[in-house]
């Protein structure tokens, strides 16, 4: 081991307070695995707009207790520099069911209370949306949730919310990162939680906090559309008795709250997958705890078949995403895409919302269907870069008394219904979707009927993402495409090209519009016949990420299956032609 690496290792060992983490590094040293040791000390987990996330392990490149304490000290220093009353307003901290999450959350609380912050710490595992809710609920300066969402078991992460309840965006990410670098060179403040509690710095969030979220879901105006009051004054959902659904928490933390808010709304025929109901950081029944992955929803679909349920629903392990498969006439279950759920929920909410609450949005790589639905309702629509950090911060900025926020989504199964939580929330989403199904059942209609109505009005939309490996630096592809004037893709003429790096949109007739979006290495081609191609070179791998959209009018008497087959043929031709051109 070279002297510089030896110095880094010794310095790290001297700072570690946890014997198990010290042993993990000592094992690598005893094995003489210098390559692995060097990788652990090759840099620092980068702090970005999603916080930090990585494999649990030793060194500054791993997720471990020392990294969490350093990150928290940096965050605390940044908060006090940005807000005079940050310590008094406090920080909300929650955590998921992964093996190290509770310890990491307690470490963060110990650092912040030692720095003089009031800390609101959940006394048990909590869905991620509840931490975002807590920031607004307490008027806190920030929020921290320790979670790796749907990443594999070896991972953990640390996500930060700003005082507005939304995920941080620039310049806060770089500002916090700079403070972390500085904190990592200094002695870290820390007090034990028992002492922080005695000093009235640490406030444990008990059942009453979880009940506060439940109460807000129950009374949320956007979740009362079509609801009625029973003789005892309680709200209920007409048609709820007609809806049955299977549910899985996917070894995460969503089951208790999901089952509760569904029951509150009148949905009593809910069947949870027992093998996946309780938190388990090993995720023993799924290879990858992401409901988007093939096979991840096998058990919940099997549960739905067992009860002949209408829906098979899933939250990801931290319950901020929602996935659903719907029973078809043949008894099989068809998963809906995130764009389909986004279109369905957007249509449902807009069809009931007040004229002053019709602000909806999605990301640039999501389907264009929501924009057309919004236009049909004379609603306000916005689009952002990918990520809920953008969706929510822009939604907050554009909200006004005459145009209040209603709904936003991204195609990766994230949805925000109303302004209870300024982040994706898989719990309110499952309630909203169940209510939509109940409303349809009162009309003897199904989700498939509603999708057909939407597609008949706005066209059938098919969206696909494909990653294309390149032989060299992927960034060179973006530069090459910008240098060339692309006039057609796959035989379809380019009607407009939006270059987010240049903040401009050029049309085939020569005129140019200025784009009101942050600069990003993204090109969006709008083609003839309702086609769209989005190209984004990867910043970390030699590949280009491409997002394709095909929009076809539904023909008279055409079924969903028939129009889907037509769209898939056109999509295949478009992808093949575009890949060949790259």
CA atoms within 13 A on the CB side of 54: 22
How many C-beta neighbours within 10 Å does residue 316 have? 29
Spatial strand order of the sheet with 244-248 comes to 269-272, 244-248, 311-315, 322-327, 333-335
Q: Are 60 and 67 in contact, with CB atoms under 8 Å apart?
A: yes
Q: Where are the alpha helices (DSSP H) in 83-149?
A: 86-89, 101-114, 128-138
Query: How many angstroms separate the CA atoms of 210 and 257, rounded?
Result: 8
Q: How far is CA 57 from the centre of its chain?
A: 25
| φ/ψ (deg, to 5) at 54 | -175, 180
Query: How many angstroms separate the CA atoms of 159 and 146, rounded?
Result: 6
Alpha-carbon dihedral 68, 73, 79, 81, rounded to 10 degrees: -150
Per the listing, tokens 């992460």 go with 157
Q: How far is CA 546 from the centre of its chain?
A: 20
Query: How many angstroms separate the CA atoms of 573 and 68, rounded?
Result: 48
Strands 531-537 and 543-552: antiparallel
Q: Are 93 and 158 in contact, with CB atoms under 8 Å apart?
A: no
Active-site residue, 149 included: yes
The SS3 call for residue 359 is strand
Query: How many angstroms separate the CA atoms of 275 and 254, rounded?
Result: 14
Catalytically annotated residue among 149, 244, 353, 367: 149
Q: Angle CA(376)–CA(380)–CA(386) in degrees, nearest 5?
A: 105
Q: What is the DSSP letter of 553?
A: P
Q: Are 321 and 426 in contact, with CB atoms under 8 Å apart?
A: yes
Q: Render 177-218 in DSSP notation, one character per residue.
A: HHHHHHHTTSPPP---HHHHHHTT-EEEE-HHHHHHHHHHHH
The strand pairing partners of 51, in sequence order, are 48
To the nearest 10 degrees (0 to 180), the angle between helices 19-31 and 3-15 is: 160
Q: What is the DSSP letter of 559?
A: -
Query: How many angstroms separate the CA atoms of 452 and 55, rounded?
Result: 44
Query: How many angstroms separate the CA atoms of 500 and 522, rounded?
Result: 5
Residues taking part in catalysis:
149
């Amino acid at each position: 081991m070279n002297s510089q690496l030896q110095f880094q290792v010794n310095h790290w060992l001297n700072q570690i307070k946890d014997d198990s983490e010290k042993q993990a590094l000592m094992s690598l040293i005893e094995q003489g695995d210098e390559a692995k040791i060097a990788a652990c000390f090759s840099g620092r987990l980068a702090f970005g707009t999603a916080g930090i996330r990585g494999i649990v392990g030793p060194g500054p490149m791993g997720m471990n207790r020392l990294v969490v304490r350093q990150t928290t000290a940096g965050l605390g220093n940044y908060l006090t520099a940005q807000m005079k009353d940050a310590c008094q307003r406090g920080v909300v901290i929650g955590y998921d069911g992964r093996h190290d999450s509770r310890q990491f959350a307690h470490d963060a609380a110990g650092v912040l209370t030692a720095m003089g912050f009031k800390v609101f710490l959940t006394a048990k595992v909590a869905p991620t949306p509840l931490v975002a809710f807590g920031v607004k609920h307490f008027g806190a300066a920030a929020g921290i949730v320790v979670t790796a969402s749907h990443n594999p078991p070896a991972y953990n992460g640390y996500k930060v919310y700003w005082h507005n309840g939304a995920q941080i965006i620039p310049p806060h990410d770089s500002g916090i990162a700079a403070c972390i670098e500085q904190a990592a060179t200094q002695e870290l403040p820390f007090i034990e939680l028992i002492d922080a509690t005695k000093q009235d710095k640490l406030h444990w969030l008990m059942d009453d906090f979880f009940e506060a979220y439940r109460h807000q879901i129950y009374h949320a105006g956007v979740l009362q559309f079509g609801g009625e009051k029973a003789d005892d004054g309680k709200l209920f959902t007409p048609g709820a008795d007609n809806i049955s659904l299977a549910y899985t928490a996917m070894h995460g933390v969503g089951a208790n709250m999901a089952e509760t808010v569904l029951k509150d709304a009148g949905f009593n025929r809910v069947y949870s997958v027992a093998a996946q109901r309780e938190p388990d950081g090993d995720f023993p029944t799924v290879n990858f705890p992401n409901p988007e992955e093939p096979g991840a929803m096998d058990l919940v679909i099997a549960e739905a078949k067992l009860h002949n349920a209408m829906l098979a629903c899933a939250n990801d392990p931290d319950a901020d995403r929602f996935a659903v498969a719907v029973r078809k006439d043949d008894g099989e279950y068809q998963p809906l895409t995130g764009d389909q759920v986004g279109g369905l929920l957007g249509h449902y909410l807009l069809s009931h919302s007040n004229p002053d609450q019709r602000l909806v949005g999605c990301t640039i790589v999501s389907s264009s269907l929501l924009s057309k639905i919004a236009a049909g309702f004379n609603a306000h629509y916005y689009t952002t870069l990918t990520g809920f950090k953008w969706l929510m911060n822009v939604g907050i900025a554009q909200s006004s008394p005459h145009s209040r926020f209603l709904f936003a989504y991204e195609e990766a199964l994230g949805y925000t219904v109303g302004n209870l939580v300024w982040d994706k929330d898989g719990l309110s989403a499952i309630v909203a979707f169940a209510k939509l199904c109940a409303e349809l059942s009162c009309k003897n209609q199904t989700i498939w009927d509603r999708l057909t109505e939407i597609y008949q009005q706005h066209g059938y939309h098919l969206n696909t993402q494909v990653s294309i490996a390149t032989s060299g630096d992927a960034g060179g592809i973006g530069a090459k495409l910008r240098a060339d004037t692309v006039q057609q893709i796959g035989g379809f003429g380019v009607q407009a090209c939006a270059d987010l790096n240049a903040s401009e949109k050029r049309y085939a007739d020569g005129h140019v519009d200025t784009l009101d979006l942050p600069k990003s290495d993204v090109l969006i081609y709008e083609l003839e016949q309702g086609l769209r191609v989005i190209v984004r070179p990867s910043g970390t791998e030699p590949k280009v990420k491409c997002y394709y959209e095909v929009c076809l009018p539904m023909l008279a008497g055409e079924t969903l299956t028939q129009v889907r087959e037509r769209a898939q043929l056109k999509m295949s031709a478009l992808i093949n032609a575009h890949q060949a051109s790259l």
